[in-house]
């Protein structure tokens, strides 16, 4: 089995080198791994850092967008430049721990699932921890609401539709046109996988959310509204 790990990166000069290093260190017996990093038109030092990584480590594939196109577009570029039987998305910040990648692979390697999501939300809100801040609490309940809506619309229970950690077989994309360019990639691919009949297994993961002052890019209200429309659109229109 070959696993392609797609890392979309936009203005992640503080974290991109470390996340690439941590992903490279992850080894799973019986799994061949490739890493594809897509620099989505960064305007900080991300470009220079990735160019240096590409020069010193030929095993890592670096692809550059000349201008920023959005996460969905970067993921599509990564998929187009990958060769794995399975694909997983890894954000370029340090919110998601690459040590969880073997946990997502376990149900696939054990023949129990073909599509696996890493869920952050199969729990109550941490009101004395990360969700003590209003924006993070709003983000928690917004994600839970979107996940519940996904479950109702597509008749398949899911607790964290918006998770970055999505593991799926390349062949699942046969006949699927991914149109999203931004964060609407998450509801679009979830909708289309479920409509093709794939069941989504979930494994619990832990994350270390960063604040907006640290570079978090997701806007709960704006991107949540787009995700809501995307779920309805691909259920009833497309």
Instruction: Return d(Cα 17, Cα 184) in angstroms, integer.
Output: 26
Q: Where are the alpha helices (DSSP H) in 9-70?
A: 16-25, 46-56
Q: In the chain, what are the helix, strand and coil shares in percent, each to the nearest 5?
A: 45, 20, 40
Q: What is the pLDDT of residue 171?
A: 97
Instruction: Return d(Cα 95, Cα 132) in angstroms, integer.
Output: 17
In the DSSP assignment, the letter for residue 68 is -
Give every CB contact of residue 166 below 8 A, 6+ residues apart in sequence.
88, 89, 115, 117, 118, 186, 189, 190
Give every CB contact of residue 123 below 8 A, 6+ residues apart in sequence.
none
Strands 2-9 and 60-65 turn out to be unpaired
| pLDDT tens sequence across 117-145 | 999 988 777 777 777 776 778 778 888 99
Strand partners, 5: 35, 88
* DSSP helix/strand/coil, 183: coil
HSE (side-chain half, CA atoms, 13 Å) at 139: 22
pLDDT tens-place values along the chain, 238 residues long: 999 999 999 999 999 999 999 999 999 899 999 999 999 999 999 999 999 999 999 999 999 999 999 999 999 999 999 999 999 999 999 999 999 999 999 999 999 999 999 999 887 777 777 777 767 787 788 889 999 999 999 999 999 999 999 999 999 999 999 999 888 999 999 999 999 999 999 999 989 876 555 555 666 678 789 999 999 999 998 7
Q: What is the pLDDT of residue 209?
A: 77
CATH 3.90.550.10 positions along the chain are 1-94
Distances (CA, A) of 186 to 29, 35, 130, 224: 29, 20, 22, 11
Q: Are the C-beta atoms of 207 and 131 separated by less than 8 Å?
A: no
Give every CB contact of residue 58 below 8 A, 6+ residues apart in sequence.
none
Instruction: Return d(Cα 70, Cα 72) in angstroms, integer.
Output: 6
Q: Nearest Cα to 210, choosing from 147, 157, 135, 145?
A: 135
Which tokens is 72 given? Answer: 């969905």
Angle at 88 between CA 224 and CA 190, to 5 degrees: 40
Name the pTM for this structure.
0.90
Q: What is the pLDDT of residue 147?
A: 95
Q: Which fold has domain 1-94?
A: Spore Coat Polysaccharide Biosynthesis Protein SpsA; Chain A (3.90.550)
């Amino acid at each position: 089995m070959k696993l392609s790990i797609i890392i979309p990166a936009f203005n992640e000069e503080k974290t991109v080198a470390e996340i690439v290093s941590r992903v490279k260190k992850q080894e799973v017996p019986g799994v061949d791994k490739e890493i594809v990093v897509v620099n989505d038109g960064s305007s900080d030092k991300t470009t220079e850092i990735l160019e240096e990584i590409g020069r010193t480590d030929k095993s890592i594939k670096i692809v550059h967008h000349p201008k920023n196109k959005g996460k969905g577009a970067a993921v599509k570029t990564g998929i187009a430049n990958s060769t794995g039987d399975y694909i997983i998305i890894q954000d370029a910040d340090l919110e998601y721990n690459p040590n969880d990648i073997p946990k997502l692979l376990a149900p696939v390697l054990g023949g129990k699932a073909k599509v696996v999501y890493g869920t952050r939300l199969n729990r109550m809100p941490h009101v004395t921890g990360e969700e003590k801040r209003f924006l993070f609490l709003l983000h928690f309940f917004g994600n839970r609401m979107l996940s519940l809506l996904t479950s109702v619309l597509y008749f398949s229970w899911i607790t964290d539709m918006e998770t970055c950690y999505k593991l799926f077989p390349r062949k699942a994309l046969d006949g699927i046109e991914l149109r999203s360019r931004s964060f609407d990639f998450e509801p679009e691919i979830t909708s289309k996988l479920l409509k093709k009949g794939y069941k989504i297994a979930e494994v619990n993961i832990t994350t270390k959310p960063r604040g907006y002052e640290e570079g978090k890019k997701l806007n709960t209200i704006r991107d949540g509204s787009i995700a809501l429309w995307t779920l309805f659109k691909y259920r009833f229109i497309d």
